[in-house]
Every structure is written in structure tokens, then in C-alpha cells.
A and B are shown apart, each in its own frame.
Chain A
Amino acid sequence: MEKKISLYIHIPFCVKKCCYCDFLSFANPSIEEQNAYLEQLCREIEYYREEAKAYRVISVFVGGGTPSLLQEGLVERLFHKLYSVWNMEEGAEITIECNPGTLTARKLAEYRTCGINRLSIGLQSTDKQELECLGRIHNYEQFIANYMLAREAGFRNINVDLMSALPNQTLHSFGKTLAKVLELQPEHLSVYSLTIEEGTVLANSPDLLAALPSEQTERQMYRYANKILSAVGYERYEISNYAKDGYACRHNQVYWTGGEYLGLGLGASSYLRGIRFENTRDMQEYLHPWENGDITVIRKDQVPDTIQSRMEEFMFLGLRMMRGVSKQEFQDRFHISMDEQYGTVIAPYVTQGLLRWQGDRLQLTERGIDVSNTIMADFLLG
């Protein structure tokens, strides 16, 4: 029987690097650079032709960078290749990340032709000043225009990315952003609290750092988002993700439930046949790899999983989801009970009200979410 797999395709290009971003992405690529990259990406996909026969693809996620900046025709070329190699499951979730201001009716039509059925639009905020602080290229009006275009093009599953805890953001301005976006009724919302990553422009801007809201305000924003969104029919199914019924992102849930996925493109991560690995992050190396057809030269940091690592991941990834982790499933997968393996870790947190049992499932409590890293770290063995 065919195994299920998800594919991630990395497009490491953007119009301009945002100040908080530490993703692998190059600003303002030329047409030649885009073409060269796409060509190599297709070679990489082709490489998996044999391996692909054992699998059925349940989701595809084209992320970046900003995949929607690819010039017209390239996405089609990519999917043409993809479909020639991989078997798709009927109704597979196929997402492409977009930035407001880069979408056109023709690109959207191209995506539809490719079978793309979900858009993820990075809005972050509706506030002009907040967007400028982040170094975003768009404004709210461009977002609205693009969003409407997408609806007109027939997209019925749209995610909007928002951010909280931005420089100069207040609970009030955050609330306004939420309200404006909710008028549009997207099927899915990701509301990420800004994380300061080392080496980013933001991390080195004392002025911006000084303008960050306090931890307390950040938590207020988090709780506010959950309160408002659940009131209008979104379910928080993961720490930072909200969806209308039936629209939870399938692709991400593959990551959180230990499913297999293949990352294609520069720096993409994979979990395939029990091995985690990551493609090279060096563009030159990626573009001139496997002279003799051996793709493994671009695979870095190959780490085979172990029972132990799988148990750990089952717990710390599974707990990201609000439904939590199932005792029964743990037992079925690892042939040891969750109590025996983690009882001493779980019990004190349950006592402290940070974890709770909901029937068969172990979940983070509201307070547990706030300090979830501390809790998750305790599920690492040894």
C-alpha cells in the first residue's frame, strides 16, 4: 500500500528582507536567478521519481521567502514537474505563500490551473506604522485588493498571517487589526507572537527593541486573540493557529504528528524513511550539486530517528496542538505506556495546573501554553 507523504517546496526569494526575518531568503532575484533555481528544483524533484512510487502526496506547501514573486509561468512549470513524479491524493491540500502586492489575476489563475487550493497571505498587521517598522513592502489596501482578487479567482481556503507583540503595537492597535481582518472572514488565521531572532536587523536595532510591548502585554494580546477568534467561530487548534471548522491546515499537522515529509529546494527540511535531514543552505552548492546524479551531496545533517527521539517528538510536537497527545496512540506506537515513560514528568505539571487530562488525551492548559517551552523541554529523554 502507498504511504502518505507531504511535500514542502522552498522558494528562497523575496522582494525585500523584513527586519525580523531569519529565513533563508534572498532579496530581489533576477529573472535569470529565478529560472536557474527553478531548473535545479525540477532536477531535484526528478531525482525522487523512483522513491515517489511508494507514496501518495496528501499535502504540498510552497513556502519562502515569497513564492508569489516568482514570475508568471514558473509555478506552473514547477507543478508540471511535480505531478509528473508524485501521485497526488484526491483533494490534497496544496498551499502557496503569498505576499500582498505580489499577486495578480494572471498569477492567481495560474495557481488555480496548477491545482493550488489554498493561499497563505502574510499580512502581519493592518497598521501602516507597524508594517513600516517591520520593513514590510505592502500596505493594508494592497492586501485587501489582493485578497479580493484571490476570492474572485475562486480560492475558498485562505489563511492570513498576523503578528502580535510588534514594535509600537498596542493591545488597541492589535485589536483593530484583528477586527479588520475578521471582516474578510478568512478560513484560517495564524497569529504569531514576534520572535526576536539573532542576527536579524530587528535584533540589532535598539530603537525597535525598546518599542516592543512588555511580556505582559504580549500575553494579553495572545489571550485577546483567542477570546475574539473563538467568539466568532474559529477554533485554536494549535498554539498560534486558528481555523474555521474543517479548515485546520493539514500540512502543518503532518509535522506535529510525526508524519513523513520531503523538503525540496534550498535549506528545506525532510523526515523521510526515519531520517531527518536538511538540504544545503548554500545557494552555490545547491545550484551545482550532483554531477554524477547523486543528490545526497546536498543533504546535510542526516539524523536517523530513534525510538527515543520519536517519543520525544510525539510529546513536544503533539502538545503544540490544543487537542494534545493520546495515551492510546503513544502505547500503539511505542509499545510502552505514556505513564511508564513520562509519568514522573507529567504528574507535577498536572498538579501545577499546566497540563491536564481530557479523557485519553494530555493537553496544555491555558497557563501551560504560556510556559510551554519549559514543559516541552522536560519531555526530552536523557
Chain B
Amino acid sequence: MSHIDQKKIRNFCIIAHIDHGKSTLADRIIEKTGLLTSREMQAQVLDNMDLERERGITIKAQAVRTVYQAQDGEEYIFNLIDTPGHVDFNYEVSRSLAACEGAILVVDAAQGVEAQTLANVYLAMDHDLEVMPVINKIDLPSAQPERVINEIEDVIGIEAQDAPLISAKTGINIDQVLEQIVAKIPAPDGDPDAPLQALIFDSIYDPYKGVIIFCRIKNGCVKKGTKIRMMATGAQEEVVEVGIFGAGQFLPCDELSAGMVGYITASLKNVKDTQVGDTVTDAAHPAAEPLAGYKKVNPMVYCGLYPADGAKYPDLRDALEKLQLNDAALQFEPETSVALGFGFRCGFLGLLHLEIIQERLEREYNLDLVTTAPGVVYRVYKNNGEQLELTNPSNLPDPSEIAYMEEPFVAAEIMVAKEYVGPIMQLCQERRGIYISMEYMEETRALLKYELPLNEIIYDFFDVLKSRSRGYASFDYEMKEYRQSKLVKLDILINREEVDALSFIVHADGAYERGRKMCEKLKEEIPRHLFEIPIQAAIGSKVIARETVKAMRKDVLAKCYGGDITRKRKLLEKQKEGKKRMRQIGNVEIPQKAFMSVLKLDNE
């Protein structure tokens, strides 16, 4: 049978630092290839979730297929595969890259090469991708294309003299980009007649179609009726539909063959069965080996999510289950807290992942949430030889049973403008960082390498980094290893009652400082009551910090306005409603936001 001519296919992705114009360039490519009219274009076609648009980042890898009429008179199929841009989603980036033969590297003509750009370029090179540089934003007055071209050649070590100088925003020189895609990015190879091997680079759950697998066919072909098997998870189903990606829509086709990028639906009910990086094969004629690179992704950051209104617990569970259908990296299991009632301990790839899930729960599912302090997974080694993976501080065994504990460390790379090297090194020092190296990438910028405990960077490291460098720093990290560490559990007592939801694990050296700040913050957040409330931070039975919320002096309405009882009633109702939104610990009412405000202790 005749397959699509592989020579006319170009599979590529776009790599860029945040704000360097990846999505805008994607829009231009889609527009210029004529698949959509300008009128149909939304501002950013690839980012179709509201959340993505607002945050300006791309969360889930997606793909779009367009048809380009090249100057040689031939029609080429472009498969543009979008990649997430944040370190939390590194693994997904890597899978997206594996589905391509080339990558367009977008560099801002004013900003030059950023740390994250580097990280992704190296990732692309690891996958043997052809990297094709493009200099964007040349319409800016501050653009210095010559300097940036030299920088690309010096820092990254790839040829950049013929890089198109473009403005994705105004559309300048986009044609050059399209021609270079045809000329520079290799066509896929792969044997259409070999056993099926398709790399899953993303999957989403659709209520009507079930799981939709986004994949790149490396070898063989797949069509409706093929019985497919996921080589890692073993899930097996018959294919219901295959197709390609229009802009923002699925276009069914007869078959997907080697070299093509498209989707498969097979009435699979769970995204967990179709994990990113897994290989799809034909159950009847399976490939001998899966494609390289599948790795189970494990959550790095855990926190408790509780419904603000206890009655919404089942709703929260439903929402988490639905989100998990689209996000195999999200994990959760039920837990209870004395302070917060029924909720879930949830695992995330990183803090951004956590924030995105939290926002989606609040926005898409209308849930009001209380989040406990995020923590990492600690390893607890007990005297009796048992080993424990600790995700919830409340489950820490009695200190007398613990031989020692380990915490995860990451290898971090920070690219920073020269003048901010001092403050950033100081920040890393404060966060128990271990200095590894510093090299100047060029005169004005340095690359700092540190090893940092993950629990020191999951709170607000990125925010502080940005503020101390006036935004001139970028940050990337990867998991390194578990190391033994002097860790203690810090408990918070409010009116002499321990509040489990506020307990957390901290390095012994930082415990006093942290405890003091927690108490200060809680003092601000807890409203005055009719009695005095002591707030204490304690390690075991030893109190290390204390604050007091003074008793309320006055809460009286001087004048009850004429006959306007309704007004008085509303005032009291508001007061009562405010009380309802608080959590009762003993006889103290704690506002929901107190639980979250303690996450941001460093007000810089």
C-alpha cells in the first residue's frame, strides 16, 4: 500500500526561553502555511487552555500539522510539536523532542541566550536534533542581532550566520524560516513496513473519545482496527480512530505511518495506561524492543489539599480524578488532618505543577482550597532497619525511633548577570547550597552551579531569585540524589494545641528562624479573639518561639441605624460568615489563608 512520502514530512519543535516568542512564532508558521486565515487565528493558537494564556506558558505538549507550499513547488507537511517550557516539565520536553528531527531555536535579539535556552538546546542535541537558530524581535530598538549571533556560536557552538532575523510579532522574514525548515531539518526515516513503534509524547482524556494518545510513528503503521499494546504498561485495546492535528482540532485519517505525527484513540479509560515516553506497538505483530527513553515520572513535591468547605470533599476527589485523566504525573491519596478534616495528600512534579493544579481546581471546578505547606519526599531510616518514604510530616515516627533521615538534593544551574552574582550566591548559601562552580559565559554573565536541597527551593526560591537579580537570572535544576541530613519536625501550637496541618520538616539549623517567622506570620493572620492566644513553635516538647495574639478590645457597633435592621443583620451575617470560613482548632478560629500565608515567609 502507498504510504505518505516521508521525504515531504518535517517534524520539529520550537525551543525558546520564556518570553522569547515561541508561541508567537508558532502562530506565524501556522498562519503562513495557510491552514488558517488570519481571521481565524486566535492570538496564540497553540495555547488553548485559559490558564496557559494568562500565565504565558505552555503546560501540555501539543502538536499541529500544517501544509507548506515551498519555493521548490512541492508541498511539505509540517508537524510542529509544542513543548512545555518549565523545569517541572523537563521530562515531557524530552519526550516531545524525541518525536522530532529538528528544533527551531528562538533567541531574543535583545536578551541573547538564556540559561533555560541552553538547557533545552542541550536536551535537543542529546536527541540528535538538527538545531536551527532564529533571531527574534529584531524590530525592538534594543535588538543586537550581530551580538546574539556571535553569542549563539560561542556559547552553544552551532552555526548561526544564516539564522533568519525575524520579528514573529510583525511577521518579518517568516518566509525564510519556512524555507529553512524544508532545507535544514531532515525528513524522518523509519520503515513503514516494520512492526509498529510509536512514541507517546502526550495524551489527554476526552469525555467522548476516552484517552487520546499523541504519538510519533517511528516504524510501521497504525489504523482503525489495529489491536495496540502499550509496551511499558501492557494496556491493550483496539484502535477506534487515527488522525492528525489540525490547528486546535483533530482530523481523522485512514492511517498513520512511519514518520508521521498524529493521534490514536482506542477507548482507553485512563491516561495512566498511556504514559508519556511509552511505546505503542501492534499486539499482533509486536516490535522486539520498545523505543528508548521511557521513564516513570515520580512526584517531587507533596502537599495536602483540603476543601475549604468540608462538604466539598467528594467534589474535590472527583475533580482530582478528572485532572489525573489528563495528567499522569499528578498523584493523590486521601488523608485526614485534625485541623482541616478530610483531604488529599497530592504529589506534583514541582511547585509550578502544584500551582497549576491548584488553580485549575479552583477555576475549572469552582473549589475553594486550603493548601498545606509543600514538602519533598524524605527518607526515614529507623533504628529497627525499616525505611520509610515520608510525604506527610505528621507521619514522622518518634525521634527516638529514627536512626537518620535523608533529603533529596538537586543539581542547579543559575545563569545570572555579573552584577548580581553576589546576591545570588548569598541566596544559595542561605538555602544550604553547596557551591560547585562558576564560569563566565561571556563578559556580562555567569553560570553558577550549586547543589541545593530540594526542600529549600520548593517554596519561593524562584521568586526570591528573580527579585534579588532584578529578573536577570534564570534557573534550572535536576534531581541529583538523596543525602543524609539533620532534619527535625517543627510543630506549631495554637492556644497550646498542636495544629497538624502546620507541621513541617526543616533542617535543624534553620528551625529557630523558621519557627520564629511562622509565629510572627500567624500572629498577623489570626484575628483577635475574646481571649489571649499563644502561638508557639516547638521541636518535640521544646518551645523555640512564641508570639501572642492579644484579646480583642473592641467590636461594637455604636449606632444601630434607624430602622435599618437589615443593615445590622448583614453586618452580623458577614461576621458570622467570616467565622465559618475559619477553621476551628480548640476554641480558636483560624482563617484559611493563615495555612497558606506561612508558605511565603520571606517577604522580599
Partner of B558, one of A193, A268, A301: A193
Binding site for A on B (CB under 8 A): 530-531, 552-560, 562-566, 568-569, 571-573, 575-576, 579
Can you name the residue of chain A whose Cβ is closest to the Cβ of B566? A276
Minimum distance in angstroms from B568 CB to a CB of chain A: 7
Contact A255 B565 (CB under 8 A): yes
What CA separation (Å) do A193 and B530 show in the bound complex? 21
Known contacts A218-B554, A276-B566, A371-B555; A255 and B573 CB within 8 A of each other: no
Contact A370 B556 (CB under 8 A): yes
What CA separation (Å) do A378 and B573 show in the bound complex? 9
Contacts of A194 in B (CB 8 A): 558
Q: Mark A338-357, 1 if CB is under 8 A from B, else 0.
A: 00000000000000101000
What CA separation (Å) do A219 and B556 show in the bound complex? 10
Q: List 9 A-B contacts (CB under 8 A).
A: A63-B562, A192-B559, A255-B562, A255-B563, A278-B564, A317-B560, A369-B556, A371-B555, A378-B576
Known contacts A8-B563, A276-B566; A370 and B572 CB within 8 A of each other: no
The answer to whether A105 has its CB under 8 Å from any CB of chain B is no
Partner of B556, one of A216, A278, A371: A371
Q: Mark A210-222, 1 if CB is under 8 A from B, else 0.
A: 0000011011000
Known contacts A269-B564, A371-B552; A380 and B573 CB within 8 A of each other: yes
Contact A373 B557 (CB under 8 A): yes
Contact B557 A195 (CB under 8 A): yes
What CA separation (Å) do A220 and B562 show in the bound complex? 26
Contacts of B569 in A (CB 8 A): 309, 312-313, 316, 380
What CA separation (Å) do A272 and B531 show in the bound complex? 41
Contacts of B554 in A (CB 8 A): 215, 218-219, 370-371
Contact A377 B562 (CB under 8 A): no
Contact B562 A8 (CB under 8 A): yes
What CA separation (Å) do A378 and B587 show in the bound complex? 14
Contact A373 B553 (CB under 8 A): no
- Most chain B CB neighbours (cut-off 10 Å) among A354, A378, A380: A380
Can you name the residue of chain B whose Cβ is closest to the Cβ of A354? B530
Contact A269 B565 (CB under 8 A): yes
Can you name the residue of chain A whose Cβ is closest to the Cβ of B552? A371
Partner of B563, one of A270, A371, A372: A270
Contact A376 B565 (CB under 8 A): no
Contacts of B530 in A (CB 8 A): 352, 354, 371, 374
Contact A303 B566 (CB under 8 A): yes
Minimum distance in angstroms from B587 CB to a CB of chain A: 8
CB interface residues, A 358-374, toward B, < 8 Å: 369-374
Contacts of B573 in A (CB 8 A): 377, 380
Main secondary structure of the interface of B (DSSP, over half): loop
Binding site for B on A (CB under 8 A): 8, 61, 63, 190, 192-195, 215-216, 218-219, 239-240, 252, 255-256, 261, 263, 268-271, 276, 278, 301, 303, 309, 312-313, 316-317, 320, 352, 354, 369-374, 376-378, 380
Contact B563 A317 (CB under 8 A): no
- Most chain A CB neighbours (cut-off 10 Å) among B530, B559, B563, B575: B563
Can you name the residue of chain B whose Cβ is closest to the Cβ of A379? B572
Contact A374 B575 (CB under 8 A): yes
Contacts of A63 in B (CB 8 A): 562
Minimum distance in angstroms from B409 CB to a CB of chain A: 49
Contact A372 B555 (CB under 8 A): yes
Can you name the residue of chain A whose Cβ is closest to the Cβ of B578? A377
- Most chain A CB neighbours (cut-off 10 Å) among B564, B565, B568, B569: B565
Minimum distance in angstroms from B586 CB to a CB of chain A: 13
Contact B558 A373 (CB under 8 A): no
Contacts of B564 in A (CB 8 A): 269, 278
What CA separation (Å) do A194 and B568 show in the bound complex? 16
Contact A255 B575 (CB under 8 A): no
Contacts of A301 in B (CB 8 A): 566
Can you name the residue of chain B whose Cβ is closest to the Cβ of A163? B558
Contacts of A61 in B (CB 8 A): 562
Contacts of A373 in B (CB 8 A): 555-557, 571-572, 575
Known contacts A269-B563, A303-B566, A380-B576; A239 and B558 CB within 8 A of each other: yes
Contacts of A377 in B (CB 8 A): 572-573, 575-576, 579
What CA separation (Å) do A268 and B579 show in the bound complex? 31
What CA separation (Å) do A312 and B571 show in the bound complex? 13
Contact B531 A370 (CB under 8 A): no
What CA separation (Å) do A192 and B564 show in the bound complex? 17
Known: A278-B566, A371-B556. 18 other contacts (CB 8 A): A8-B563, A193-B558, A195-B557, A239-B557, A263-B563, A269-B564, A276-B565, A309-B569, A372-B556, A372-B557, A373-B555, A373-B556, A373-B557, A373-B575, A377-B572, A377-B575, A377-B576, A380-B569
What CA separation (Å) do A377 and B568 show in the bound complex? 10
What CA separation (Å) do A192 and B575 show in the bound complex? 21
Contacts of A216 in B (CB 8 A): 553
Can you name the residue of chain A whose Cβ is closest to the Cβ of B572? A377
Partner of B560, one of A8, A256, A268, A370: A256
Minimum distance in angstroms from B140 CB to a CB of chain A: 41
Can you name the residue of chain B whose Cβ is closest to the Cβ of A353? B530
Minimum distance in angstroms from A309 CB to a CB of chain B: 8
Contacts of B556 in A (CB 8 A): 193, 239, 369-373
Contact B555 A370 (CB under 8 A): yes
Contacts of A313 in B (CB 8 A): 565, 569
Contacts of B555 in A (CB 8 A): 370-374
Partner of A316, one of B531, B566, B568, B579: B568
Minimum distance in angstroms from A76 CB to a CB of chain B: 23
Contact A320 B560 (CB under 8 A): yes
Minimum distance in angstroms from B348 CB to a CB of chain A: 38
Contacts of A215 in B (CB 8 A): 553-554
What CA separation (Å) do A190 and B572 show in the bound complex? 23
Partner of A240, one of B558, B568, B576: B558
Contact B558 A374 (CB under 8 A): no
Contact A269 B553 (CB under 8 A): no
Contact A255 B557 (CB under 8 A): no
Partner of B572, one of A256, A303, A376: A376
Can you name the residue of chain A whose Cβ is closest to the Cβ of B553? A215
Contact A271 B557 (CB under 8 A): no
What CA separation (Å) do A239 and B558 show in the bound complex? 7
What CA separation (Å) do A26 and B531 show in the bound complex? 44
Minimum distance in angstroms from A351 CB to a CB of chain B: 11
Can you name the residue of chain A whose Cβ is closest to the Cβ of B527? A374
Can you name the residue of chain B whose Cβ is closest to the Cβ of A190? B559
What CA separation (Å) do A354 and B576 show in the bound complex? 18
Minimum distance in angstroms from A121 CB to a CB of chain B: 16
What CA separation (Å) do A230 and B5 show in the bound complex? 102
Contact B563 A261 (CB under 8 A): yes
Contact A374 B552 (CB under 8 A): yes
Contact A370 B576 (CB under 8 A): no
Contacts of A312 in B (CB 8 A): 569
Contacts of B562 in A (CB 8 A): 8, 61, 63, 255, 263, 269
Partner of A219, one of B553, B559, B563: B553
Minimum distance in angstroms from B584 CB to a CB of chain A: 13
What CA separation (Å) do A31 and B22 show in the bound complex? 68
Can you name the residue of chain A whose Cβ is closest to the Cβ of B556? A372
What CA separation (Å) do A352 and B530 show in the bound complex? 9
What CA separation (Å) do A256 and B565 show in the bound complex? 9
Partner of A380, one of B531, B559, B560, B572: B572
Minimum distance in angstroms from A342 CB to a CB of chain B: 14
Contact B558 A352 (CB under 8 A): no
What CA separation (Å) do A303 and B565 show in the bound complex? 12
Contact B572 A271 (CB under 8 A): no
- Most chain A CB neighbours (cut-off 10 Å) among B552, B556, B560, B571: B556
- Most chain A CB neighbours (cut-off 10 Å) among B562, B564, B571, B573: B562
What CA separation (Å) do A119 and B571 show in the bound complex? 29
Can you name the residue of chain A whose Cβ is closest to the Cβ of B575? A377
Contacts of B576 in A (CB 8 A): 377-378, 380
Minimum distance in angstroms from A240 CB to a CB of chain B: 5
Minimum distance in angstroms from B404 CB to a CB of chain A: 47
Closest 4 CB pairs of A and B: A193-B558, A377-B575, A269-B563, A192-B558
